[in-house]
Structure 1
Amino acid sequence: MLLTNVLLLLFSASRDVLAAPQQVPLEVPALAKPRKLHGRFLHITDMHPDPAYRPKTSESTSCHRKKGKKKKNAAGYYGLPQSDCDSPLRLTNFTLDFIEKKWASDIDFVIWTGDNARHDNDRKLPRTPSEIYDLNRAVATKMASAFTARGIPVVPSLGNNDVWPHNIMIPGPNSITSEFASIWKAFIPFPHLQIFQRGAYYAVEVIPDAVAVISLNTMYFYDSNKAVGGCEFKDRDDAGNLEFDWLEVQLKGFRDRGMQVWISGHVPPSPGNYFPECYVRYVELALRFQDTILGHLYGHMNADHFFFLEANDLAVIDPPKVANNGDLFDTLLSDFAVIPNAKDINMDNFAVINVSPSVVPNPYLPSFRVFSYNTTGAPIRHLGRKHGHHRGDRKNKEAQCKLDAYRETWKCQLNDSWHSDPLAPSRSNQLWTPLGYAQYYIPHLEEGNKSHTPCFKLEYATYERDTLNGSKGVYPMPPKNLPGKVKKRQTPYELENLTVGAWIELARRMGSSKKLRSIFKRYMYME
């Protein structure tokens, strides 16, 4: 109780800390007319505010106690980059204040993918549920004030450090789903509140009747959560299976309405993060609804990267693994190296996962992304689209699925038709197609102090440099938020858009260019 009171005092003490929330959450104001679209949205993740952070303390104490013996290991005023320390409240406030001032008038919605409490890495100051909820409530109040009050939808997701103990969440309804239903009441559409209280997942139509964002609770797929069953086929009431059943219904409904969808969550879908059967279900839905899903946005990893979900992931007998040393960068390059040549590839077989780096300077530098998307043209309905095809060797699959080892697995049970189309917005530049993103970061966080405010700068952007500079009279990013002259190193990839094919081509280019691989690694780890 004492710690909670201290936190609330910290939140309300000055403008340098997150304001304490009101008892009644803010509601999205009713709008008299449709909002003007700017063709941009914000993705922000992993803020990790820490009310116990103290400048000049030691990294060995999580920047909580003891004076740092060396300057490079002493907590800075705005944070300690390349460390295991979390964000001081002034960094969280500075970031959200900066985004509100510079971006709130230029974006259409916000995707916010979790982890709004500190890590539990100080044994002398363990976290408590009340502290976690207080931190989340304070950040939510700040987000509602900056965006929701302006009519900008905000779509949060639950992070693995937003629960106590971290990584562990039992099937709902439970105290966590109930508490966050209250904390996020301003963001969750009323019709989704009941399902949210069961599992902490929901959907928001960020552009009514056109584009939705689905916020998943990845805790029920995450293999560090030992309180769930891991989506085993025989356990149809497992929390992960129930969530995937719900997701399938949502995707079918949005597809029938001719809408497009972003899928968001905290822990990205990979064999290293998800229970095997949960991973299979995610991949199958991602590929089955490739014509409806614009992209997949995640956080958690803190490193800037992308990777692919592939039809090969659904082979009944796993293909041989590519040898690597376990390093994320090397693993990604190994995967990119075996992507088929252009003449041999079937784009239906791929989906792209984008993982954004974090606000917390643990272990890199504070950052956020602003995406742009196409707002021109007419929506494409799902008439005459390709469907009915199944992946893999059908004959071999039938034989393999008769074996006891595979019969009752999702790989042998998922046989629905896939929906794909070369003209879908995820595959071709159409209305709602993602066009690119600009990533902003604080390069010299350690220089910030009471008299010297840190500065967010453009780290890089995915666009062609001429496009970013408005060569066609259209700026994907507001000129006020770009440097006077964009440097060549700030447009390393020069992608025309963010379609599946564009990402695959970038991955192929890395395979033949040592220089591009080096650039990718530098931005991945903010070196």
Structure 2
Amino acid sequence: MFCWRASIVSALVLAALEPARASQEPLVDNGASITKRRQLHGRFLQVTDFHPDPFYKVYSSIDETGACHRGHGPAGYYGAETSDCDSPISLVNATFDWIRDELKDSIDFVIWTGDSARHDNDEKIPRNVQQVTQLNQLLVDKFYEVFAKNQDEPDDDPTNDLVVPVIPTFGNNDILPHNIFERGPNLWTRRYLDIWRPFIPEVQKHSFDQGGWFYVEAIPNHLAVVSLNSLYFFNSNSAVDGCAAKSEPGYRQLDWLRIQLQYLRDRNMKAIITGHVPPARTANKSNWDETCWQKYTLWMHQYRDVIVATLYGHMNTDHFIVQDFEEVDQDVVDGYEIIKNYNNRGMVAAADQQFGIQSATSYLKDLRKSWTKLPKPQADEDAEALKKGKKHKGKKPHGPDDYDAEIGGRYAERFSISHVSPSVVPNYFPTIRVYEYNITGLDKKLPRTNEHISELYATETPEDERNFEEDMIAEDEDLEAERKKKKKKKPKKHRFTVPKPPSKSAPPGPAYSPQSLTLLGFVQYYANLTRINNDSFEDDAEQQRWKDGKHHGKKPFDEDHKPHPTNFTYEVLYDTRSDKVYDLEDLTTRSYLRLAQRIAGMKPRKSDVQMSEAGLEELEADEAFNADEDQGHVDITKKKHKKKGDKKKKSPKGNKPWYTFVRRAFVDTLEPDDIEEEFGV
């Protein structure tokens, strides 16, 4: 009989945690106990989709029947990159070791966006409830190893266990069966209330029990991180039915979100929204029920003064999504539910399958096509009008930073952006992301996580929260009564409360105008497993339906062969603050819209279409360097020299942003020829 606990214990022989270095900052007497204050750094970490697999076997078969669990094949010590295999425990351990050594002392909080159990991709080893919960407990334990406070520090607060807040969220594989999450309270809200107990504030535990949603004040009195249960919006969750009916948990979650965001607005606070499944909505990929997307996009618009950013995972590819408020149905804007089947209007519900290269290719092309429809800046239209000899009668020409009403005013407030981070699981290469944000004007030293809770909520109880909600409902009823007086005839549809917009005197929020808490950029880190695993095999077979990645058909080593990986590390793939291709001044919506337009090929900059001979040589040398890296042999002095008879390769100079976007979407695992063939660059 297989013993799960014995297996996982034997697989998880973890190195003892190095004691945290004591801070040199002075102790602060807060009147109740002596505690230390933590420094605010202006950086936070997002990690997503670990998919740890305790059954992973080094040098096992990476084909569909082996799933890196059995057989003999090229599964590497730290994972089989670009395949459908999950993460070995060695990759999980190495990732947390790197975070401990490189990031622990320089970040303010951690956003953990789900999928912390293996896929149910092996019929011979079916998942069960115990496995799923134990794998999530494993990740919780790893966070404790890295971010636990130094036990030698004086602290009378028994709940103050972590140096920084960690905010988790449900992934579609963190439950059983995967994707299916019933309305709460249920088995999973109760189990995770226990597993994630250290991460959920006491006053938020009732909300979490009801449906898995909650928020944490990552920066007390300044910034809350709101963790949504995106599975209630997910098309593949057949246990629920969208966000139209009051009885549906999706409806309840959005109503809860409306109340919390209004509460944060009243406190002059800001919010980051996180979830697992992003609101992808294209012709070939629709992750959410349309009724949920409609209301969510309306919420993002109405609370644009509060929301700093929205962060997701799930799709493994590095990209971003643009939501357009103009696509929200007018009935929804007026507060009436939409019960239509929007799939009849060209929207295709996502099938329950792995998001592989083929589906990702169609999806990325859809994104690019949708971005061709973005309105042009008015300054560009002015320039075109002047070329045609037209004049602006009585109008002052717009400057280069001005956007007209078509694009939502100067700060592009018609749109919102969803950031989608790639994954730790090596469907491509393992990745993690570190965001930088503006801390100007914020308190430089803050209480350690959880120690501020009792003081913060000293006059704020669950009863107060209920009273606040009742006040909001009463206020909405008064507004509705006024609307009825003005408008007698109404469509016979179910009403819901529309969130209040920002006051007319409110300045644009951090997502639209640089200010405190505005995201300044991010650094995308990745681990090149091809080089780190340090293996080489002969290739002699054909590609199969199961995604073997670059390992398909490779001859394995003998059974007595021992792995000899190099030192594991994450390295910088790119940094948005210094990247010359993306050229993002910051991560405001306006910056992303400009990038989306350039990726779509709308009025490309000269640097996008013209490269010097030296620049082309540098790009070719870089590609040759990457090709050698993939073989495990790196020569940084190597240049690519053409041979007679070689076909001239199409360079990416036709649209460098699109080429770069695709290359990064797949975490630099696609060869230039493959990008050219699949994406036309």
User: TM-score, normalised on structure 1?
Assistant: 0.82
Gapped regions of structure 1 (runs ≥ 5) = 18-29, 69-73, 380-397, 466-489
Residue 70 (structure 2) aligned to one of 65, 79, 91: 65
In the TM superposition, residue 141 of structure 1 has moved relative to its aligned partner by 1.1
Gapped regions of structure 2 (runs ≥ 5) = 18-32, 150-161, 332-341, 349-358, 379-405, 444-486, 534-562, 605-654, 671-681
Cα distance in structure 2, aligned partners of 1:370 and 1:112: 12
Residue 586 (structure 2) aligned to one of 489, 497, 501: 497
Residue number in structure 1 paired with 2:163: 151
Deviation readout 1:438-481 (Å, 9 max, x if unpaired):
00001244542445223211000111x3xxxxxxxxxxxxxxxx
Q: Secondary structure at the match of 2:664?
A: helix
Q: Secondary structure at the match of 1:119?
A: coil
Residue 461 (structure 1) aligned to one of 561, 564, 575: 575
Map residues 100-249 of structure 1 onto 2, 5 A cutoff.
100-149=100-149, 150-232=162-244, 235-249=245-259
Distance 1:422 1:342, change over 3 A: farther
Letter in 2 for 1:334: K
Cα distance in structure 1, aligned partners of 2:287 and 2:83: 23
Residue number in structure 1 paired with 2:94: 94
1:51 maps onto 2:54 in alignment? yes
Distance 1:378 1:195, change over 3 A: closer
Letter in 2 for 1:356: S
Map residues 121-520 of structure 1 onto 2, 5 A cutoff.
121-149=121-149, 150-232=162-244, 235-271=245-281, 272-316=286-330, 327-343=362-378, 344-346=406-408, 347-362=412-427, 364-377=428-441, 402=491, 407-408=493-494, 413=496, 415-419=498-502, 423-445=508-530, 447-448=532-533, 449-463=563-577, 465=578, 491-512=580-601, 513=604, 514-520=655-661
1:522 maps onto 2:663 in alignment? yes
Distance 1:147 1:492, change over 3 A: farther
On the 8 A contact 1:76/1:446 being kept in 2, the answer is: no
On the 8 A contact 2:98/2:569 being kept in 1, the answer is: no
Letter in 1 for 2:588: T
Q: Secondary structure at the match of 2:199?
A: coil
On the 8 A contact 1:80/1:446 being kept in 2, the answer is: no
In the TM superposition, residue 95 of structure 1 has moved relative to its aligned partner by 0.5
Q: Secondary structure at the match of 2:365?
A: helix
On the 8 A contact 2:169/2:227 being kept in 1, the answer is: yes
In the TM superposition, residue 145 of structure 1 has moved relative to its aligned partner by 2.5
Cα distance in structure 1, aligned partners of 2:34 and 2:193: 23
Residue number in structure 2 paired with 1:385: none
Letter in 2 for 1:502: S
Q: Secondary structure at the match of 1:348?
A: coil
Q: Which has the larger radius of gyration?
A: 2
Letter in 2 for 1:190: E
Residue 32 (structure 1) aligned to one of 32, 35, 42: 35
Residue number in structure 2 paired with 1:482: none
Letter in 2 for 1:499: T
Deviation readout 1:134-188 (Å, 9 max, x if unpaired):
0000111111231253520000111000001100111111111111011111111
Q: CA RMSD in A?
A: 2.7
Residue number in structure 1 paired with 2:473: none
Distance 1:191 1:415, change over 3 A: closer
Cα distance in structure 1, aligned partners of 2:141 and 2:120: 23
Q: Which moved more, 1:44-53 or 1:413-422?
A: 413-422
- Equivalences, count: 458
On the 8 A contact 2:299/2:499 being kept in 1, the answer is: no
Residue number in structure 1 paired with 2:555: none
Deviation readout 1:180-204 (Å, 9 max, x if unpaired):
0111111111111121111111100
Letter in 2 for 1:309: Q
Cα distance in structure 1, aligned partners of 2:3 and 2:512: 51
Distance 1:284 1:399, change over 3 A: farther
Cα distance in structure 2, aligned partners of 1:444 and 1:13: 22
In the TM superposition, residue 508 of structure 1 has moved relative to its aligned partner by 1.5
Letter in 1 for 2:303: F
User: TM-score, normalised on structure 2?
Assistant: 0.64
On the 8 A contact 2:319/2:420 being kept in 1, the answer is: yes
On the 8 A contact 1:433/1:499 being kept in 2, the answer is: yes
Cα distance in structure 2, aligned partners of 1:446 and 1:59: 18
Residue number in structure 2 paired with 1:41: 44
Deviation readout 1:13-49 (Å, 9 max, x if unpaired):
34399xxxxxxxxxxxx98254211000001100000
In the TM superposition, residue 2 of structure 1 has moved relative to its aligned partner by 4.1
Q: Secondary structure at the match of 2:322?
A: strand
Letter in 2 for 1:281: K
Cα distance in structure 2, aligned partners of 1:225 and 1:207: 33
Letter in 1 for 2:313: G
In the TM superposition, residue 510 of structure 1 has moved relative to its aligned partner by 1.8
Q: Which moved more, 1:327-336 or 1:341-350?
A: 341-350
Q: Secondary structure at the match of 1:436?
A: strand
Distance 1:93 1:320, change over 3 A: same
In the TM superposition, residue 281 of structure 1 has moved relative to its aligned partner by 1.6
Q: Secondary structure at the match of 2:38?
A: coil
Distance 1:399 1:283, change over 3 A: farther
Cα distance in structure 1, aligned partners of 2:60 and 2:587: 43
In the TM superposition, residue 270 of structure 1 has moved relative to its aligned partner by 2.9
Q: Secondary structure at the match of 1:241?
A: helix
Identity %: 38
Cα distance in structure 2, aligned partners of 1:338 and 1:283: 18
Distance 1:163 1:491, change over 3 A: farther
Cα distance in structure 2, aligned partners of 1:280 and 1:136: 32
Letter in 2 for 1:263: I
